[in-house]
Amino acid sequence: MPIYFLVGLSTSLNTTAFRQRLLHRRPRPLSVPPALVLFAAFQSFARFSTGLLSVRKRQPPLLSPHHSPHGGRKNCALRQLLHHSSNRPLDRANSIKSPAMSFTNESEASISSISPVFTRTSTTESPLTSPDGSSFDVKVVDNALVDCLTRDYDLESICSILIQIAYRAGDMIVAADPSVDDSDTKNNSSDRVTATDKAVEAMIYESLKAAFPNFDFLGEETFKEGQKLTDAPTFVVDPVDGTLNFIHGFPNVAISLALTVARKPVVGVIYNPFRRDLFTAVKGKGAHLTRFDGRKTALPIKKTPAPLTSLNDCLVAVEWGNQRNGPNWDLRTSVHKKLLSSKDEGGAMVHSIRSNGSAALDFCYVAAGWFDAFWEAGVWIWDVCAGCIILQEAGGLLASANPGDWAPELEGRCYFAVRGAPEDGQKKIVEEVWGLMDGKTFTYPVRK
Ligand code: IPD
């Protein structure tokens, strides 16, 4: 069904080649109702533009500055035509309505009659409910949608290119003198940027733009207030995650590179150039750690991870962030204290907590199974984006640091990563930590 819709849409835009490609492909059975996938496909495809069309199987992208950026001209029309309907995320609104849309063309797939209404009862619940009373799991729908949008593209080739870029970035970081760039003050004395952060991001940007001219870019050092992730294919980049570690010479530092499609990470590469640990994941293909000597291991490291039974038995990663006052700080520190405190003090008495200064690597260490969980708020999408796909491909569970949210937004700044284990145990750990928060939640952006 979604295929027919896409055919219809492409017909209306006279993108003949695109239509032919779709017609020659058999739709795959999806595990969610076709009408919902059709609706989801429209919502995202409407905001989805030319980028993916340049990275197809059997036509791997070239890492060359001469790669033609003109292939997407027809689809610019698509972008413009549909731009007005592009700012309503599929899975974010409390009530999601699709306006009745009609395309005057010869297609059998006119969707003018389709105007589904899906209502989410609260922003924190996963199921959506349709007018006929049936409900759908948001994660299942998102998953089917992203599979649908990416199935023609060679994500493993993209991963290989990201690995090459990460290695180049690693060489730059290891060779650098981490002098702080005082000309660019961030929030405070714990929120630093070095000339290396900027130089590495510039190199990454140039390399990615040369290879994938139609993809968007969201990087820590070039981020502008208000910039938002869109459904277009987007590289999400942190050139140096763990900048404070880098400045102090503590070798827990990483380059974090991700590709998102429809706002979901589909490729992730995180590289610590000092330890030469390379963590990678491709959606549907698993997560891996490649060590300094080239040994490559699927994640998690233990093939049959032990069940999670109690927070009491967990080694939990936390970070301190750079916001050191106000309600968010009070909540963070009170939970840290409760995680450590003995049970008779109302705490969880975890084995211990660890704070390593790189959220990207914290995610990887949970994916590997070295930490049981990582609970964190305040970090940004570039700190965690690649880590999310590495975690998920390693069988980990991603929830929010805030209670009740099992489907956190990538830009929501609140994350809870739990290592691979049977799901009931993963959820128990999440609920135990949420229970330590006394009903309080983190709020971003911070209210002054
Ligand atoms: C930092 C790290 C750290 C977290 C900070 C982040 P950066 O990223 O991820 O773990 O606690 O809040 O800013 O600035 O080094 O890329």
Structure tokens given for 329: 């700080």
- Mean pLDDT, rounded, for 404-431: 97
Whole-number pLDDT of residue 63: 31
Domains of the chain in start order, with CATH, are: 2-94+135-150 (no CATH), 155-299 (3.30.540.10), 311-435 (3.40.190.80)
- Max mean pLDDT among 16-30, 39-53, 104-118, 394-408 falls in 394-408
Whole-number pLDDT of residue 152: 80
| Average pLDDT over all residues of the chain | 78
Protein residue whose Cα sits closest to atom 1 of ligand 1: 242
- Ligand 1 atom closest to the Cα of residue 240 is 16
Whole-number pLDDT of residue 38: 60
Whole-number pLDDT of residue 248: 93
- 116 vs 149, higher pLDDT: 149
Ligand 1 pocket member 61 (CB < 6 A): no
Whole-number pLDDT of residue 187: 66
- CB count in 10 Å sphere of residue 353: 18
Ligand 1 pocket member 383 (CB < 6 A): yes
Whole-number pLDDT of residue 5: 44
- CB count in 10 Å sphere of residue 178: 19
Residue 437 pLDDT greater than 80, yes or no: yes
CA of 238 relative to ligand 1 center, distance in Å: 10
- 11 vs 187, higher pLDDT: 187
Q: What is the distance between the alpha carbons of residues 359 and 369, in angstroms, rounded to a whole number?
A: 15
pLDDT digits (tens, 9 = 90+) for 22-73: 333 333 444 455 555 565 555 555 444 444 444 444 333 333 222 332 233 3
Ligand 1 pocket member 357 (CB < 6 A): yes
CA of 320 relative to ligand 1 center, distance in Å: 9
Q: What is the DSSP letter of 352?
A: E
pTM of full prediction above 0.85 = no
pLDDT digits (tens, 9 = 90+) for 336-375: 999 999 999 999 999 999 999 999 999 999 999 999 999 9
Residue 238 pLDDT greater than 80, yes or no: yes
Residues paired with residue 278 on neighbouring β-strands, in sequence order: 271, 290
DSSP 241-296: E-HHHHHHT-S--EEEEEEEETTEEEEEEEEETTTTEEEEEETTTEEEEE-TTS-E
**What is the maximal distance between C-alpha atoms in the chain?**
72
Considering only 36-40, 64-68, 258-262, 320-324, which range has the smallest mean pLDDT?
64-68
Ligand 1 pocket member 321 (CB < 6 A): yes
**178 — pLDDT class (breaks 50, 70, 90):** confident
pLDDT digits (tens, 9 = 90+) for 184-230: 656 677 778 899 999 999 999 999 999 999 999 999 999 999 999 99
pLDDT digits (tens, 9 = 90+) for 386-397: 999 999 999 999
**446 — pLDDT class (breaks 50, 70, 90):** confident
